């Protein structure tokens, strides 16, 4: 299947800039599948193929919300969206790599005291008691500061998923109770919730690995 007609995309771009409320859904219908196919062809061996869908959805949603960021003098709209989606996918893959490289996850830090003490017995023998104490205090302070960003139990769950590197929109939609919305609406609302929490984390000097 070929790429969408550039003239049709140009018209949709104009409609977006003029605030046409039906333009985002028309855009998504035209470009989501072709963009996903392009990225899957470039990255055929992904462990989690859903990363492609999320990257494409984010790229299209970001453009639909801020069409003025697209400069038609530099490239066509489809090429711009492909570049943006590829960048989002690379960021997602980097986040997965960082997450897998962590030595201690939030789940381990939040083990009940008895289990945490047992886990501490498996630490590197060369580490001193002071090293152990500092490590525990640092982790606990980090958890406490992250919790400051959570205004509700729902926020806390979303934050945990963000820090764990979760990328699937449907998982966030389930936590946020957005299953009844359309796919585009779910993506938009999930992004809004995540952006709000990211801003709170940034104010606290923290950033999720995403």
Q: For 178-192, write each residue's pLDDT tens digit.
A: 888 888 888 888 888
Together in a domain, 22 and 66? yes
Give the model's pLDDT for residue 195.
Answer: 83
Together in a domain, 57 and 112? no
In a domain, 208, yes or no: no
Together in a domain, 58 and 82? yes
pLDDT, tens digit (0-9, with 9 covering 90-100), for 81-96:
999 999 888 888 887 7
120 within 8 A of 169, measured Cβ to Cβ: no
Question: Which of 82, 101, 120 corresponds to the end of one domain?
Answer: 101
Q: What's the domain range around 166?
A: 106-203
pLDDT, tens digit (0-9, with 9 covering 90-100), for 18-32:
999 899 999 999 999
Together in a domain, 95 and 137? no
Tokens standing for residue 174? 């389930």
Stretch 90-114: mean pLDDT, rounded? 59
Question: Which of 72, 101, 130 corresponds to the end of one domain?
Answer: 101
Give the model's pLDDT for residue 142.
Answer: 54
CA dihedral 71, 77, 79, 85 (to 10 degrees): 90
12 within 8 A of 23, measured Cβ to Cβ: yes
Stretch 108-114: mean pLDDT, rounded? 43
Question: pTM score, two decimals?
Answer: 0.51
Question: Which of 69, 101, 133 corresponds to the end of one domain?
Answer: 101
The number of folded domains in the chain is 2
CA atoms of 104 and 83, how far apart (whole Å): 34
pLDDT, tens digit (0-9, with 9 covering 90-100), for 144-156:
656 666 767 788 8
CA atoms of 64 and 189, how far apart (whole Å): 14
Together in a domain, 117 and 77? no
Quickly state the pLDDT bin for 76 (edges 50, 70, 90): very high
Q: Could you tell me the CATH number of the domain that includes residue 31?
A: 1.10.1740
In a domain, 147, yes or no: yes
């Amino acid at each position: 299947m070929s790429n969408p007609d550039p003239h049709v995309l140009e018209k949709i771009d104009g409609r977006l800039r003029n605030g046409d409320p039906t333009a985002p859904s028309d855009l998504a219908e035209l470009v989501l599948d072709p963009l996903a196919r392009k990225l899957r062809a470039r990255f055929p061996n992904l462990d989690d193929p859903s990363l492609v869908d999320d990257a494409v959805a984010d790229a299209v949603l970001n453009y639909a919300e801020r069409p003025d960021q697209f400069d038609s003098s530099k490239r066509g709209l489809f090429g711009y969206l492909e570049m943006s989606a590829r960048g989002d996918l690379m960021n997602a893959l980097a986040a997965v790599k960082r997450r897998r490289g962590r030595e201690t996850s939030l789940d381990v830090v939040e083990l009940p005291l008895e289990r945490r003490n047992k886990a501490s017995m498996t630490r590197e023998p060369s580490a001193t008691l002071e090293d152990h104490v500092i490590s525990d205090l640092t982790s606990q302070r980090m958890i406490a500061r992250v919790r400051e960003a959570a205004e509700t139990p729902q926020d806390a769950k979303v934050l945990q998923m963000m820090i764990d590197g979760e990328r699937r929109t449907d998982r966030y939609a389930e936590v946020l109770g957005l299953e009844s919305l359309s796919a585009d609406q779910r993506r938009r609302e999930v992004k809004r919730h995540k952006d709000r929490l990211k801003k709170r984390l940034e104010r606290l000097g923290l950033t999720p690995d995403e």
